[in-house]
Amino acid sequence: MTSRSLSAPSRRTVVKAAAATAVAAPVLASAPLAAANTGTPAFLHGVASGDPLPDGILLWTRVTPSPDAVPGSGTGADTEVGWEVAEDRGFTRTVARGTVTAGAATDHTVKVDVRGLRPATAYWFRFTAGAAGAGAVSPVGRTRTAPGYDDAARGVRFGVASCANWEAGHFAAYRHLAARGDLDAVLHLGDYIYEYGSGSYPKTDDVLRPHEPRHEIVTLADYRVRHATYKSDPHLQALHAAHPLIAIWDDHEFADDTWSGGADNHTPGTEGDWAARMAAARRAYFEWMPVRTSVEGTVYRRLRYGRLADLHLLDLRSFRSRQASVGSGAVDDPERTITGRAQLDWLKAGLASSDATWRLVGTSVMISPVAFGSLPAHLLKPVAELLGLPTGGLAINVDQWDGYTDDRRELLAHLQERAIRNTVFLTGDIHMAWANDVPVTAATYPASPSAATEFVVTSVTSDNLDDILNVPANTASAVAAAALKAANRHVRWIDMDHHGYGVLDVTSERAQMDYFVLSDRTDPDASAAWTRSYRTLSGTQKVERVYTPVR
């Protein structure tokens, strides 16, 4: 825990809802971090891959063709970039290659959708630019394709992360995930970047490392620079070079508490038209992320890992209604939506038709209901901030599925009525770790059934309870967690204090989440330690504790 003094953030800036070195060192050593100082092209932002398919993978990089062609500048010559995919790190067995032109229109980013690869196979990739023998060669990345569509995959293992605020800490969690050689992919559940101006989240005069640009990002150039800043981090570069990424966005890729027509952190009078800002953020995201543009130009899409698991990925910002006022009763209005009609129908159809053993759903905000129990007065305000509640302690978190109860009711009823088993929601957003059953009717649980289970991962760096209170871990959270669990019997576990990541291991018998915590988010060399494991057995719709992590 850092000794820096952090003042409690306002509602606008609070959290919205309650052998390693052997792998990582070559990546870190090969990742150039300084700006190009010659006319030779350079790969300053690393390489990445994403959205694995049985026969393909999406490759990404950004080339800096000249010193003036910095991200967001709109300058720099068109540059031919070569790409290469091989079966070995030495590139003696190349299986695919080609060229693509990078220009200012896409901020000199490069995305290549490579097909014709073998399923469930590791590959290495790299990029080149400039004259042969005198140009630049990118760091080498490693990626992996998904199993064949109908293959009986024995298991799949994902790293799981969310909520990485550049100013709040270093990305040591990414370094630890990069160092693992056993992951099929890393699932990022949103808030990959944050939009705030420097020093405003958390509100402090003591910024660990300032955002660029220093002001709140609003324009296309701003969002491009912010993405570039994050991808200058050596630990994030290592993560991207080590594993394919599967990502969805949440609100901070746009602005705090985004909805389809605006955001809590958007002031039209001074920050322009919301539609223009959202379009700029969306464009920069697809330029800078190894993510395929999907249905309706958003991130909701479906990936498959053989007959073992279908992964349904949601966009819960582009189509949602404006957040209701807490206690207004509008949360139950069937005309309000968090998914939009088309996306909810798509999700229901995909869950019903899936022939996979497991139906995994990547959701950026928590679907499990949270009622607020009795808390001591000194804990009420900070815990309410973490859960997105007013300090009066009402029982609705209006930015999560709690604020859109009709969509949740329809989805859970669909699971129950169709007897759809083995649905696991994977969630980020609230800077806490949770393990939950997802009840059909929370008020009578466990007398009423559970329709699914949910694993929530904590933040990589963004503030949680002990950070807001500026107290040691476990000082206040034990009381708060006990009160929340007493009022919500479907909640099996909550960690309100730590930063870290998860590792989800899925077999035909069970889906298990191992939770890992960092020793200190402000230390780039922070260690990581396993803290808890929870699993759901096939057919049960129940979460249970496991006392050892998957090895």
Taking only the tens place, the pLDDT of each residue in 164-210 is 999 999 999 999 999 999 999 999 999 999 999 999 998 888 899 99
Taking only the tens place, the pLDDT of each residue in 436-476 is 999 998 878 888 899 999 999 999 999 998 888 888 888 88
Taking only the tens place, the pLDDT of each residue in 488-505 is 899 999 999 999 999 999
pLDDT band at residue 389, thresholds of 50, 70 and 90? low
**pLDDT at residue 383 is higher than 90:** no
Q: Which of 205, 207, 203, 109 is nearest to 166 (CA)?
A: 207
User: Which domains are seen in the chain, by residue range?
Assistant: 20-31+139-546 (3.60.21.70)
pLDDT band at residue 295, thresholds of 50, 70 and 90? confident
Return mean pLDDT, the chain: 90
For 345, phi then psi, to 5°, come to: -65, -40
Range name among 92-96, 266-270, 284-288, 476-480 with the lowest pLDDT average: 476-480
Alpha-carbon gap, residue 255 to 222, rounded angstroms: 13
Global pTM exceeds 0.85: yes
- Residue 543 DSSP SS3: coil
For 190, phi then psi, to 5°, come to: 115, 165
DSSP 39-72: SS-B--S-EEEE---SS-EEEEEE-B-STT--TT
For 160, phi then psi, to 5°, come to: -135, 130
Q: What average pLDDT does the segment 345-356 reach?
A: 98
Q: What is the pLDDT of residue 115?
A: 98
CB 106 within 8 A of CB 64: no
Q: Which residues, other chains included, contact 420 with Cβ-Cβ below 8 Å and sequence gap of 6+?
A: 351, 352, 359, 414
